[in-house]
Amino acid sequence: MLELNFENSVLTAHLSGELDHHTAAVIRKKIDAKAEILKPKTLKLDYKNVDFMDSSGIGLIMGRYRNMALMGGKVEVTNVPPHLKRMFSLSGIETLGVIK
């Protein structure tokens, strides 16, 4: 579901499996707790191994974007797989400039 790595001020969250309202809440708490302690400059959210997500997967990005901005850091979203592209474009999240 979630693996966290920290290197060179970058906290990377490797997400996997199914992202919904239930799992996103658990993931969010873990990421925020780590970010609070480590104060990363960049939080990378890696969507490579996300098999399924509903709009909670977008909410997760929006919430982290806000949090990181408050801490003076930024968010990067990487490896969005083809089957999630429609959800991403529908959400308009690209306008935040976080998708790499």
Residues that bind other proteins (CB under 8 A): 18, 20-22, 24-25, 28, 52-56, 58-60, 62-63, 66, 83, 86-87, 90-91
CB of 87 to other proteins, least distance (A): 7
CB of 99 to other proteins, least distance (A): 15
- Toward other proteins, which CB reaches closer, 7 or 20? 20
CB of 22 to other proteins, least distance (A): 4
Record the tokens describing residue 9, joined without a space. 């001020």
Computed over its alpha carbons, how large is the radius of gyration of the chain? 12
CA dist 68 and 73 (Å) reads 5
- Toward other proteins, which CB reaches closer, 11 or 61? 61
Number of helices and strands in the chain (H, E): 3, 4
CB 81 within 8 A of CB 53: no
